[in-house]
Chain A
Amino acid sequence: MNPDDRHYTQSHEWVKIDGEVGTIGITDHAQKELGEIVYLELPETGHVFNANEEFGTVESVKAVSELYTPISGEVVEVNKGAIAEPGIVNDDPFGDGWLLRIKLSTDQEVSTLMSAEQYAEYVRTEEK
């Protein structure tokens, strides 16, 4: 159920690498835990982040949570559609509900992230 074409973090983001650009979003598990998402606070393009740095917030009817970058790089695109209609993050977290595209500053970091299988195991242990 977690697509295996991407990498996962312990803070429930995913990143899908395509050449030197990584697309970032939150996982299906994360959107379920948050509930109905009503607002996204995302950075502007051009902003440079280190890995594990806070890049924005996601607000649901019951909580506001921080979002962390899985990888370092410069923001090249922000999902305007998701800002206008945050509900698409609930509806399609791995597809149309993506959040940022980042131009990777290194290809070394991806190996430190989890695979789909490892992430599924991580969620199982976290829930115990």
Chain B
Amino acid sequence: MKFLPVSDSDRTAMLQAIGVARVEDLFRSLPREVLGSPDLRPPMSEIEIRRSFGELSRRTAGARDTAFFLGAGLYHHYVSAIADQMLYRSEWLTSYTPYQPEVSQGTLQSIFEFQTHIGLLTGLDVANASLYEGASALVEALLMAERLSRGRRRAVLSAGIHPEYRETVRTYFANLDLEIAEVPVGPDGATEAQALAAAVDDRTFAVALQSPNFYGLVEDWKSASAAASGRGAQSIAVVAEAASLALLAPPGEAGIDIACGEAQSLGVPMNNGGPLLGFLACRTAHQRQIPGRLVGETRDAEGRRAFCLTLSTREQHIRREKATSNICTNQGLMALAANVHMSLLGRRGLREVALQSHAKAEYLKERIAGVPGYRIPYGGPTFNEFVVEGPEDARSLLSRLAARGILGGVPLSRYEDGSPRRFVTAVTEMNTKEEMDRLVAALGEAA
């Protein structure tokens, strides 16, 4: 196949056709500050690069070297060396979902198993092969509900949904002529069922609720399913800490139509913030509107168990602009990691991780509540994360702790106004009692 680059006259003709004077004009919607050339250092030798990155690494506090209590959407759970080792196998390293899929039975089997795990954890019938991360999984869940509604334009979101997820939804909706109605959380930090139901009208296509919510509180999925059901809207369960699914009632059992969120907790390291692992699951009745890849189980010509990509006719490479979504791939390597992790731990192991995380968080919550100057403002049940209100500005308090090797939490002022003294603290099975006691002592000294 020949490759012929575009000539200047081709370029001029194309620009004329779309009514733009210069190529630069195509990028006018981008913020000015990202348009300039990046400030790159001059070229370095390999030795210099290693030295430079080594310094950068030493300046960065890692979870391994600190007492680590950061959560807010990303969680420090243990990932077995076995899972890592599996990812290094060359058969998996190019685990991009294949375009001639049926020759890659191993890849398809792993995706099928990942889907099965997600189906079991969410209590829903159909899960896709994964999405990039939790925030865009919520967007895809909402867009799916919008397609199912045929013409409704409004989504109801609990303000207990992760602020960054809601921001991503706003970014998408701004150019889609879709509206968002946010329902604030009540004085106890949880979403009020009545307020959620009252926000739904005959133009609403979805009601989305997160549990545990951004403040760590366990919400009642039934308040979302009750608000949506019988009113032509889909109820959406959002899960940012997927380890909780091994302990709390699955959304499907509470009548939820679509579950989505972040599965990083299920075998994916924090990776400095990414790659992460989005998931999306729904009921069989709506399987033709679920975006992304779906692997199905079938029989080959000789009657043996085999796997295939199914319902691909809805996808972009076949259906072009009429596709259910522009998502035409999945987070292959991370879904593989999650599959290996969940297969290793099994039902009991996953539950053990969840139980330990919860029990340790309860211990820490109780200890912090006993430190003079500190209180736990929300009394409702939590899974492994909770809000703390301290005696002073949380940012300066937490940065003093960080200097002592304790990353005590994420200040809420990073996401919202009006609560400068509050921060959210997360605990997993990785935290030792010694670390928790060290955090409690440091908070006492700071106050």
Contact = CB atoms under 8 A, between A and B. Distances in A.
Nearest to A43: B150
Given A63-B313, A64-B314, A39 B288 contact: yes
B319 interface: yes
Contacts of A62: 313
Nearest to B315: A64
Nearest to B323: A64
Interface in A20-78: 39, 41, 59-64, 66
Q: Which 9 A-B pairs have the closest CB atoms?
A: A64-B313, A64-B319, A59-B313, A63-B313, A64-B314, A63-B318, A39-B288, A66-B322, A62-B313
Which of A62, A63, A64, A66 has the most chain B CB atoms inside 10 A of its CB? A64
Interface residues of A, number: 9
B79 to A, nearest CB: 39
B245 to A, nearest CB: 31
Judged by DSSP, the binding face of A is strand
Interface of B: 288, 313-314, 318-319, 322
A62 B313 CA distance: 6
A114 B313 CA distance: 30
Contacts of A41: 288
6 contacts: A59-B313, A62-B313, A63-B319, A64-B319, A64-B322, A66-B322
A62 B315 CA distance: 12
A41 B318 CA distance: 18
A64 B322 CA distance: 9
Contacts of A60: 313
Nearest to B289: A41
B328 to A, nearest CB: 15
A71 B82 CA distance: 63
Nearest to A44: B150
Nearest to B314: A64
A122 to B, nearest CB: 24
Contacts of A66: 322
Contacts of B288: 39, 41, 59
B45 to A, nearest CB: 55
Contacts of A61: 313
A64 B314 CA distance: 7
A62 B314 CA distance: 10
Nearest to B288: A39
Nearest to A62: B313
A45 to B, nearest CB: 14
A100 to B, nearest CB: 16
